Structure 1
Amino acid sequence: MSSGVMNMDSFGNVKDENAINGVNTTGNMFASMVATPIKVSRNESSGLVGSSLMNNRGSLQFSLSNLNVFQNLPRETTRGTDDLTRMKMAILSDIPEEIKWALKKYLAYSNKAPYMISLKDLPDLLPLFKPFITNLKPLIENVDQPLVKFSNEGDNSEVSNTLQLGLTCLLILRNLSQDTDSVQVLVTDNEVKDFILFVLQEYEKFCTYSSTGDNKQIFEHNFSIVNELIHYTLDIMEAISSYMAPAKLDDPFFKTLIKLLNYSKDRYMVISVLRSLSRLLVRSKADEESAADNIDESSLLLVVSFLLIDCDSELVAASLDLLYQYILPGNERISKLLSDISRFNQLATVLPKLLCDNVQLPEYSNVEQFDVNLIKRLRPPAPKEAPQLDEKLFSELLHLEEPYRSTMWLRCCFEPVKESEVTQITLWKSYESKFAQPLRELNGKRLLPAVEFIKNVSNAFSIASAMVITDPTTGKKRFVVKGIQPRYKPLSLFEAEEEHLKRIKKISGEDDKMNDLDLKNGSDNENEIIHEVTQSELPQISFPNNISEISKASATFLCLLSNDTEGSGIRFCQTIKPIVLHKLSDVPPLSSALSEYMDNTKML
């Protein structure tokens, strides 16, 4: 090139001078160009143009934000594709790491937000999982042999990956089976149901081998794999069983589950199997062959024996539910259930007990151990002072003449008691404080002098007498009136006079013993205050207001048995009725739950 200026055509394209002159060249036409660095800030490259940048026209024209290829892109592309699409594409990519990442994400969704990946809303999702699950079949058939070989670097074999991916997909389906919409998709998929049946049958084979001592048993290092596999499968089976009812006589699922029930020792598996069997029997009819006919005598005895485990409410509830569904269609199955004497006795023992399961019974023992003490009928302590007079009695006494006033006041306010005493000064001050001032204001008269008042006590009460008592210890003298004490409440003039006359008759009568007793205990006035005999408070007994779910299920089961009014059912119900009546008295809410049972058994 003769100059440093490039030639361009009318469209702005660079033209090589040699090419223009007809010279053929094979080199790069940009080889002679010198790169000139351009300073572009972060804001310019991100398309954020401020007012200060607008002034710098020279650098702005090189900003990436002003290039047409970036300006025409939609804004949504900055966020990329959504998670669900990304996860689906990752599985379809067949890249192992991508598949593991996607399944891990699906597992998280199935656990925390199963509605986001509902099999009903995403019909293409189940076909993505099925290949990983069905790939487990050859491995399941050979669990009696080592499946995974470990090395110092760990296990990265194809078998291990197959197991990991298959079990993860199975766990995802297990979680999704708890969703109503997703489980309806699973139950209509024959491949999924075939795989579930395959796993159950294979596991049942190894359970049979184990019980018979056969050499073909699960390899020791495969136990954790098989345990995980069978638990996921049983959970899915439990979920779809409600949609497969009623099971027919030759239903392979029901037959396999019955065999698993007889061989399994795992509590979780037994409960899951019982629930699946119960749901498969729903809507079965007495006039049609049913899968219930596959339940033999030993299986019935096993289910009944589960009711005896009083520390496991889940197992008891599942067993009760299966027995209820078993006898629901008609009386023939009730007769079969109760035909065995062992089952009859076990049910007769445990059902009344289950009526009060997890119910707080009244604590009668507190009453039985409580000592009932009667508080005696006692006379309260004698008052220290004479009782107050009402206005009427005070006025009547005020208008009497001495010494009759003092005599009647004494008889109204005091009573004769041999061992009692009142100090002379207290007796006088009590009388004087009541009548001295009012009497002077009324007619200017005075009370009976104190000495005469004390002497008059003996006139009012024949057993009363004034005396001087010397304290043997201190030598001090006390001036008292012996033989009287204040009443609890005053008598009227009529009552006082009547009592006095009765006492005179007794003194002059025959019964001296009665007289002594009366004088010792006080007067026989009917209005006298005496504490009545009382009983110490008994412990409170509280009765339950609600019953547990096991109690309700047991009551429902008994009501169903009592509907067999002419067979074994009613005989069984009549046998345990005395015990049931005791339970009704202890737990009042059972009355409504057992109303049908009581109606069916009351006439027998």
Structure 2
Amino acid sequence: MSNNPNQGGRPQASSGPQASTSTGAGNSSSSNANPPKPFQVYLPTINDLHPGPRNRLFLALKSDIPSEIEWALPKLVTGSYAAVQADLFRLDAYIDSVPTLLRWPQRWIKQLTKGQRPSFPHPSDDMADDEMPQISSSTHFDRPSVDLWTYPSTSSSSKQLFIDPVVEKRACECLLVLRNAAFLKPSEGKSSNAECIGRSEDYLEFLESFFSLPCTTLMDISMERPEMLHHLLNLLSFTLPFLPLARQSGSPRTDSLAKTFTSTLPWLLVQSRDLGMIKLIFPLLISTLRIPSLPPCDPSLLPHLLYLITLQDPSQPSSLILELSLDLLVALTLSSQNPTLSILASQQFPAHLKNLVMLLEHGAKRTTIVSDPPSQVVGKVIKNPALGSLLAEESSRRRAIQREKAQQTLPQGGVELETGDKPPSLSLAQRTKLYQMSEPRRSMAWMHETFVYSSTSQLLQVTFWHAYRDFFQHSKTVEPLVSASEVIRHVTDAFPGAMAKAYTDEQGQSKFVIAGIGFRKGSEDEDRYLCLWKDCDAPPNATTTSDLLTHIQTNHISATSPPTACCWSTCTHSPFSLSHLLTHLPSSSTDSAPPRMPETITVPQSMPEHLYNYSRITAFPPPPLGPSHKLHFERVITHTDPQRHTPTGTTFLAALVIRNLAKCLRTEIQSSLPMTDQGLAERKKHLMEERFGLPIPETVLREEEEEERAARGGGAERIGNDMGLNQRQRERARLAFGAVEERLGDVIQENMSGLGQYLVDALGW
């Protein structure tokens, strides 16, 4: 067999550095005297990780041969990490794998327990390298001890921890193997490595032995060799679901584990300043302190948590320590009433509550929320009945009535109506309407707005064409102009009583005219004072509001029998009054331009359609929001879950703590009130059911009442919690909630992330 270490698969133990001499004279290179050792690769092969009782790595670890152990442990460390990623390293496939890996950690604990002082001096920082104790691969570990290191103790005791560094190194590597293996997830039909470790009796015994050490010793270990405790805490977090914590008390091991999570770990959390260890202890306490069978936690934990949440600057991003502290406070105030009562009873509770309320705005961002209004408050858009375009339509309708009457009287005796010498000025609404029309409706509608019947009037065709051309030569005109002959041909369609003809004047010149029509006499200002009273035949010729009012009072309103309803245009308002009539008449202001009104208005969806033309819009209900209206809100957004859209993070945890405190205080206030006999009996029954976990039978309840009555001698007694708050503490807590009630209301109103639903119980004090 070859002695080459590379062929055997295991590196042989080194026998020490070889001494080599230089054959050269004088100053030869010293680098050849001690050549560097080749780089050692510790990654195991597939054969090294082959499952079964004869696995070479675990057999080597079971032996007490130092070279075998030094060969196997590095391979297990790297292999446990790499093989877990490939789902190859399952501890249940190796016989006694967990007890084998715990052999060196158990030896390390034994040395911690003994703690004897060695014969050599304690190594200090000023010792030279050649004075440090040397450990070789052939060292026998059961020998007394010349190869021990010491941990300087931070406790008041002078006792120091003397640990063999080789034992400590191997214990640390074994814990690292277990920690790496615990990452393996369960597969179909196979349990996880964490379950295999957590259900091992050797592992439970190791936990019991380690955490039974004095807390000061554990603190010394965390400062001198923190990797040991970190590996163990990581392993503990994976195996926590499989530990016998939820069983009934009585087993010494169960009680010891419960003491670990309720006393030892809280003590380490309070005393340690190692952020790495603190972040590992927090999740363990959060998960275990919710188990109802565990005893109360260390009383120093609550003040420390309330102190930790004050160290975070609200303007800075949230830290993990802050969120873990709040999460643990939620677990404590939710699992048991005693921690909640301790917080409420504290003299610094008002300050703690203000700090929690301040955390409700931690990392908040102000933003503008734009949303559609509810459909119940959105109206529909209609044409403004009081707009000038509608008034112009009413005037056009009035002129159409006058035109029909003139056409009827034209054959009988003619129509004598004063005409103008130029086209009238049309309103903007009329001009816009005519520009958008197409021929021949456009020219006919223009004639109706511009001309009137007159038996004594005739208009030159050239003047007629120029008026048409000047009006429709506008940029807003949709269609081009038509020829003069075509426009003149439509005159008889618009005014059947009119006629295009030619005649010879007194000078003997031939003229082409349109007889029977003339320019309507009036303007935009005069149209403001048109009488729109129904069946009004006489033109008012009014130029002011007073003239128009006098015309209406003289011709349409009788003093003996006034109208019961308004007859102005389409208005049917009842009862009719003079003050109502004045709302229809134009303003008596000297301004020539009337105030601009919107073309459309918004009315409720339930408004009947026959009221759409009701010009007295002041009688309409208040206008609702328009369809295009958007609601703008200045709101606050805090951190939310992007998938479930629910609040999370610091603000959510602070809201839960406040809710739990408020609920507990309300319960205390309610329990302090005097109760009737019936209420006392119901509450007692409820307390009994909570104690036994099942509905208590009436017979058992009566027996309990008789026994208590006999013990009290027949006296009445209020059932309550002896550990509850006294009157002064309740009043102080109530006033503290009342002081922050306004700010809580602002958070409920402004927060758009859903925090308000968790803060309702904190209002109403």
Structure-1-length-normalised TM-score: 0.56
Letter in 2 for 1:90: A
Displacement after TM superposition at 1:498 (Å): 8.0
Structure-2-length-normalised TM-score: 0.46
Relative distance call for 1:432 and 1:514 in structure 2 (3 A) is farther
Relative distance call for 1:259 and 1:393 in structure 2 (3 A) is closer
Displacement after TM superposition at 1:484 (Å): 11
Q: 331, 351, 354: which one pairs with 2:356?
A: 351
Relative distance call for 1:501 and 1:402 in structure 2 (3 A) is closer
Q: 577, 593, 603: which one pairs with 1:521?
A: 593
SS at match of 2:290: coil
Q: Distance in 1 between matches of 2:489 and 2:173?
A: 109
Q: Distance in 1 between matches of 2:456 and 2:77?
A: 106
Q: 94, 99, 108: which one pairs with 1:136?
A: 108
Q: Distance in 2 between matches of 1:325 and 1:521?
A: 74
Q: Distance in 1 between matches of 2:455 and 2:174?
A: 111
Displacement after TM superposition at 1:282 (Å): 3.0
**Deviation sequence 1:292-323 (CA, Å, 0-9, x none):** 2x313xx4221112223254443233323333
Displacement after TM superposition at 1:171 (Å): 1.4
Relative distance call for 1:191 and 1:164 in structure 2 (3 A) is same
Q: Distance in 2 between matches of 1:282 and 1:385?
A: 78
Q: 317, 327, 337: which one pairs with 1:321?
A: 327
Q: Distance in 2 between matches of 1:525 and 1:450?
A: 43
SS at match of 1:563: helix
Q: Contact (CA 8 Å) 1:282, 1:325: kept in 2 or not?
A: yes
Q: Does 1:435 align with 2:440?
A: no
SS at match of 1:173: helix
Q: Contact (CA 8 Å) 1:362, 1:543: kept in 2 or not?
A: yes
Q: 172, 176, 189: which one pairs with 1:171?
A: 176
Letter in 2 for 1:146: P
Displacement after TM superposition at 1:361 (Å): 5.0
Relative distance call for 1:385 and 1:239 in structure 2 (3 A) is closer
Q: 304, 307, 319: which one pairs with 2:306?
A: 304
Q: 89, 106, 111: which one pairs with 2:76?
A: 106
Structural mapping, 1:265-344, within 5 Å: 265-284=273-292, 290-292=295-297, 294-296=298-300, 299-308=301-310, 309=312, 311-328=317-334, 330-342=336-348, 344=349
Q: Distance in 2 between matches of 1:198 and 1:461?
A: 111
Displacement after TM superposition at 1:120 (Å): 4.5
Q: 451, 463, 470: which one pairs with 1:426?
A: 470
Q: Distance in 2 between matches of 1:437 and 1:205?
A: 113
Q: 734, 748, 753: which one pairs with 1:584?
A: 748
Q: Contact (CA 8 Å) 1:362, 1:586: kept in 2 or not?
A: no
Relative distance call for 1:82 and 1:403 in structure 2 (3 A) is closer
Q: 528, 544, 549: which one pairs with 1:506?
A: 544
Q: 255, 258, 261: which one pairs with 2:269?
A: 261
Q: Distance in 2 between matches of 1:156 and 1:517?
A: 113
Percent identity over the alignment is 16
Q: Distance in 1 between matches of 2:472 and 2:339?
A: 98
Q: Contact (CA 8 Å) 1:110, 1:172: kept in 2 or not?
A: yes
Q: Distance in 2 between matches of 1:229 and 1:163?
A: 9
Tell me the residue number matched to 1:126. 98
Q: Which runs of 5+ in 2 are unaligned?
A: 1-45, 140-163, 184-192, 247-253, 370-385, 390-426, 460-465, 474-480, 503-510, 550-585, 603-622, 638-644, 670-724
Q: Contact (CA 8 Å) 1:506, 1:515: kept in 2 or not?
A: yes
Tell me the residue number matched to 1:553. 653
Structural mapping, 1:76-95, within 5 Å: 83-84=50-51, 85-92=55-62, 94=64
Letter in 1 for 2:72: A
SS at match of 1:566: helix
Q: Contact (CA 8 Å) 1:352, 1:583: kept in 2 or not?
A: no
Q: Distance in 1 between matches of 2:501 and 2:217?
A: 116
Displacement after TM superposition at 1:345 (Å): 2.6
Displacement after TM superposition at 1:405 (Å): 8.0
Q: Contact (CA 8 Å) 1:398, 1:435: kept in 2 or not?
A: no
Letter in 1 for 2:203: D
Letter in 2 for 1:426: D
Letter in 2 for 1:165: R
Letter in 2 for 1:438: H
Relative distance call for 1:351 and 1:399 in structure 2 (3 A) is closer
Displacement after TM superposition at 1:277 (Å): 3.3
Q: Does 1:197 align with 2:211?
A: yes
Q: Which has the higher helix share?
A: 1
Q: Distance in 2 between matches of 1:484 and 1:134?
A: 112
Q: Contact (CA 8 Å) 1:307, 1:320: kept in 2 or not?
A: yes
Relative distance call for 1:507 and 1:267 in structure 2 (3 A) is closer
Q: Contact (CA 8 Å) 1:245, 1:279: kept in 2 or not?
A: no
CA RMSD of aligned residues (A): 5.8
Displacement after TM superposition at 1:128 (Å): 1.8
Q: 436, 448, 460: which one pairs with 2:521?
A: 460
Displacement after TM superposition at 1:284 (Å): 3.1
**Deviation sequence 1:516-564 (CA, Å, 0-9, x none):** 746x216x999x9589999998866577553114444334433433332
Q: Distance in 2 between matches of 1:355 and 1:264?
A: 28
SS at match of 1:83: coil
Relative distance call for 1:93 and 1:332 in structure 2 (3 A) is closer
Letter in 2 for 1:230: L
Q: Distance in 2 between matches of 1:201 and 1:226?
A: 15
Q: Distance in 1 between matches of 2:219 and 2:599?
A: 90
Letter in 1 for 2:211: L
Tell me the residue number matched to 1:146. 123
**What is the aligned length?**
449
Q: Distance in 1 between matches of 2:455 and 2:308?
A: 91
Letter in 1 for 2:307: S
Structure number with bigger Rg: 1
Q: Distance in 2 between matches of 1:87 and 1:152?
A: 35
Q: Distance in 2 between matches of 1:407 and 1:88?
A: 130
Relative distance call for 1:181 and 1:134 in structure 2 (3 A) is same
SS at match of 1:269: helix
Displacement after TM superposition at 1:197 (Å): 1.7
SS at match of 2:292: coil
Displacement after TM superposition at 1:581 (Å): 2.6
**Deviation sequence 1:342-372 (CA, Å, 0-9, x none):** 2x134312333444555655459xxxxxxxx
Q: Does 1:404 align with 2:406?
A: no
Displacement after TM superposition at 1:566 (Å): 2.0
Q: Distance in 1 between matches of 2:526 and 2:483?
A: 18
Letter in 2 for 1:333: P
Displacement after TM superposition at 1:514 (Å): 5.8
Tell me the residue number matched to 2:373. none
**Deviation sequence 1:68-123 (CA, Å, 0-9, x none):** xxxxxxxxxxx967534232233245554543443233223433454644444545
Deviates more, 1:432-441 or 1:275-284: 432-441
Displacement after TM superposition at 1:456 (Å): 6.2
Letter in 2 for 1:166: A
Letter in 1 for 2:653: A
